[in-house]
Structure 1
């Protein structure tokens, strides 16, 4: 799934969600530029003149947020059923939300976790967390957060959201998780590379072959990917893939222009996205570790992420007002 925008006017809002399929064949993958489905967000007045960010996707539902940090707004959308809802305003005066979107194991409830700075009159702004369970109609404050997570969406896996954060006391990068069942944060086993930083670039989390992965840049601007073979087991981290800097122009020269894994294919190939700055076109790459080759297509988009379509009906969440996109 890609979040498209109008490149004729670079500063305008994103305009559509597009579902792009990859057809797998023996020894080759076809990335089709023409989308299987396209949903024009401008068909809904609430999305007009609003710049959006995709914060995560679970079971066919997509969490979106407004990029206007003066007014934090959150939306849940199902492009297949063409439904969307606007989540209520936060109970606190908050700014700069960092999101995680997931579902709980035992209750099957969909939840949005938001980590944000709570505005105060005097002193530094503390980091707070609040959670929204679809169907409840209100945010619930979880209190202060001790982990200063990086400003990107949490990676959802095994009913947890995962973020990197920097431990200022130990001067190390670490991983923390949020459990969507018991709604608590906790420290998570980090790969050995977190203890032997080669550069000042922070790592990026993703999912490859159903396992949590951690990618980062070497001094030569190559991408190194570690994979956690057994979830939660520290000793199961393994160095899996080295992607040479030549795979993508300018890889690693700017962190936001990098190349990050967002999924994997049946033949072991890795799906990556590169070039996340507003003025740089995003590329979707299929990298073949066995041969060291790549295939790519270029989109004028602001974001790309793994998406599995479903017919989950937003109408079942009775506390929210559900809207329909016009055809």
Structure 2
């Protein structure tokens, strides 16, 4: 093979090869040549079907920054299946600089980009901790209100959008959308979401839509926001949720929308096998809770599905994270800050 033949490979083939590398090797590969750097930081690489292995990200608020640590998972073949523990290896540890972050809410990610929101500064941050870049967005209006944010990417247009719902206070019920690269917030009609109370900062992304549990009087429903059409819709949860279920939450498992809640002495998890088909709700599992064995007598406590990992201490906000070298500079017109 001639020395220059590899760099002349079609970009699709180069993407296929680089996508199979572990994150450390991909980070090194961007230093090989400028064409590889541009490819690895492009949206085409993010959209490639072959994804980099997931990692774990930990965020801890500090005085003037958010401490960020990223861990790689140990090879699953070497993990201890009986103990159900996954070994983690530190990959990066740094600070995301910004103002007072004492009230930074739990981050959410889309294709390796993080959404961070500080109620103290009332600013929204879109950050890629791998490329050490972030964008600062002001809130859509000078409301003294409680704001609920969501972040996702449209499956058709590929546009990244931030949605802001004013859930309480002045302007309650107003909804705004910010498309990264445009520099402006746009008001959209709430439609069927009007008058409903959103579960605060508890959305999930499934099938290209954002989903919240919402409350209409005492009735629990699921509200979906289509990132392509920018319209709200309402999905029906399992019928049993209208009864005595407590702490109703949404998760995504194996690309399916799931709902879980606490009912009496058990946690019940449902899965919607066919998206938007009410009849496809199926119980996946029921977990019994023994209140006499360490749970005390507080039956009003919240229950969340969690996973215990080794080598991670003092966790403030931890989630599975899909690393990406996608550069925020691809959003033309945004003020990208490097750190």
TM-score bracket, shorter-length normalisation: 0.7 to 0.9
> Retained in 1: the 8 A contact 2:71–2:90?
yes
Tell me the residue number matched to 1:17: 68
Structure 2 unpaired stretches of 5+:
1-55
Q: Tell me the distance in 2 between the aligned counterparts of 1:255 and 1:316.
A: 46
Distance in 2, matches of 1:21 and 1:259, equals 23
Change (3 A) 1:152 1:234: same
Offset, 1:296: 6.9
Equivalent position of 1:183 in the other structure? 230
Superposed, 1:64-213 pairs within 5 Å as 64-68=116-120, 71-117=121-167, 120=170, 125-144=171-190, 145-146=193-194, 147-168=196-217, 171-198=218-245, 201-213=246-258
Deviation at 1:102, TM superposition (A): 0.5
Cα distance change, pair 161–55 in 1 and its aligned pair in 2 (3 A): farther
CA contact (8 A) 2:167 2:198 kept: no
Tell me by how many angstroms 1:100 deviates.
Answer: 1.3
Q: Which residue of 1 aligns with 2:317?
A: 303
| Cα 1:150–1:207 shift into 2, 3 Å | same
**CA shift for structure 1 position 117:** 4.4
Q: Relative to 1, partners in 2 of residues 1:67 and 1:32: Cα closer, same or farther, differing over 3 Å? A: farther
Alignment partner, residue 223 of structure 1: 267
Partner SS, residue 106 of structure 2: strand
TM-superposition CA deviations, 1:234-281 (whole Å, max 9, x none): 111111122333599549947675223xxxxxxxxxxx2xxxxxxxxx
TM-score if structure 1 supplies the norm length? 0.75
Q: Distance in 2 between matches of 1:239 and 1:60?
A: 31
Do 2:166 and 2:173's aligned partners in 1 also have CA atoms closer than 8 Å? Answer: yes
Deviation at 1:78, TM superposition (A): 0.5
Alpha carbons of 1:298 and 1:81: their partners in 2 closer, same or farther (altered >3 Å)?
A: closer
Secondary structure at the counterpart of residue 87 of structure 1: strand
Partner Cα separation in structure 2 for residue 242 and residue 99 of structure 1: 31
Instruction: Give 1:186 shift.
Output: 0.8
Higher Cα Rg, which structure: 2
More strand by share: 1
SS of 1:80's equivalent in the other structure is coil
Q: Which residues of structure 1 form unaligned runs of 5+?
A: 261-271, 273-283, 286-294
What is the CA distance between 1:162 and its match in structure 2?
Answer: 0.4
Question: Residue 91 of structure 1 aligns to a residue in which SS?
Answer: coil
Tell which deviates more after alignment, 47-56 or 75-84.
Answer: 47-56
TM-score normalized by the length of structure 2 = 0.72
Aligned equivalents of 1:252, 1:216: Cα separation in 2:
18
Cα distance in 2 for residues equivalent to 1:254 and 1:47 = 39
Q: Please, which moves more after superposition, 18-27 or 98-107?
A: 18-27
Tell me the C-alpha RMSD between the 2 structures: 2.9
